[in-house]
Amino acid sequence: MVFDVLQIGGQQDIFSTLVSLIWLLLLMTFFLYPGFSQRIQLSYILRDLERKLNRLKVIDDDVRERTLKTLQEYAEANTDVKNDLERLVDSFVISPESMDPYGIVYKLEHIVNTWEDRFEEDVAKICSKADTVKVKTLTNLVEVSRGVHFIYRLVRHYYLLGKKTQNIYLVLQMQMLMPQIMEIAEAYRQASYAFAQGQPIGDGIGVLAVAKLAYGREKKTYEIAKDTLVHELDFDGRRLIIVRATGPGGTVGRPGEGVRRLVESEGD
């Protein structure tokens, strides 16, 4: 029995010695190779980013599939909706030169308006069965898919770049931004349900308030800009000029251009 106790005690001493040696080796590694701890931290951050990137991929595929099915409902049988959707989702806009002394605002407005018109025309060509109102809502749905895909590609780019260069500061910044990025992607995913079903979203409350104000009153209505209407009416002895989006499709109109034209037409 005494021999067994000594044997167990000896085994415990050997185990303690091994643990001490392992700790000593780790400490020596940290002191002699300071970058070792950074590599461990980098590996952990990359694994965390990879999990979130996979989640973004799931959201991207989900929104893309929902968009594809919705567009196919309004497309002709011989239309290659999938390839056309891929082309629209991968499209992008090149910003103008900001150092131009003439200014960037008007050039940017022109580029954005041109891109929106072209984007809507392409959606109308794909969904030839849809009317004008539905085309605007479908355009918003494609824009949602494009936005989610852009987020996924951007995060994937920085993930691969950080992994390739082993730049811990780059991936650390991405890790800190990922909670907000995931919320944005999830908001896009929820918006895709609304646009696919033609449901109103938060932007519609303003138009609803204006419509309720002008409903049942004698008014003069005309279009002041693309997808932008003007109501002129009398209310409690005052002349009201109401500018709103045309609706009921998914469009906010061009209120800035409409107000500018109103100011120019009304004068001082």
Per-residue model confidence (pLDDT) at position 37: 66
pLDDT tens digits, one per residue of 84-117 = 999 999 988 887 777 776 777 778 888 888 888 8
Residue of 200 and 1 predicted with greater confidence: 200
pLDDT at residue 76 tops 80: yes
Q: Which of 208, 195, 64 is nearest to 135 (CA)?
A: 195
CA distance 132 to 249: 8
Q: Which of 241, 205, 203 is nearest to 224 (CA)?
A: 241
pLDDT tens digits, one per residue of 170-196 = 999 999 999 999 999 999 999 999 888
Per-residue model confidence (pLDDT) at position 109: 82
Q: How many residues does the chain have?
A: 268
Q: What is the DSSP letter of 215?
A: T
For 185, counting Cβ atoms within 10 Å of its Cβ (0-12 exposed, 13-18 middle, 19+ buried), the class is buried
Per-residue model confidence (pLDDT) at position 29: 63
pLDDT at residue 262 tops 90: no
Per-residue model confidence (pLDDT) at position 12: 57
Mean pLDDT of 56-67: 95
CA distance 115 to 121: 10
pLDDT at residue 125 tops 50: yes
Q: 207 and 244 in contact (C-beta within 8 Å)?
A: yes
Per-residue model confidence (pLDDT) at position 64: 95
Q: What phi and psi values does residue 35 have, to the nearest 5 degrees?
A: -75, -5
The upper half-sphere exposure of residue 213, i.e. CA atoms within 13 Å in the direction of its Cβ, equals 17
Q: 88 and 123 in contact (C-beta within 8 Å)?
A: yes
Strand 238-245 to strand 219-225: parallel, antiparallel, or no bridges (unpaired)? Answer: unpaired
Domain ranges of the chain: 35-197, 204-266
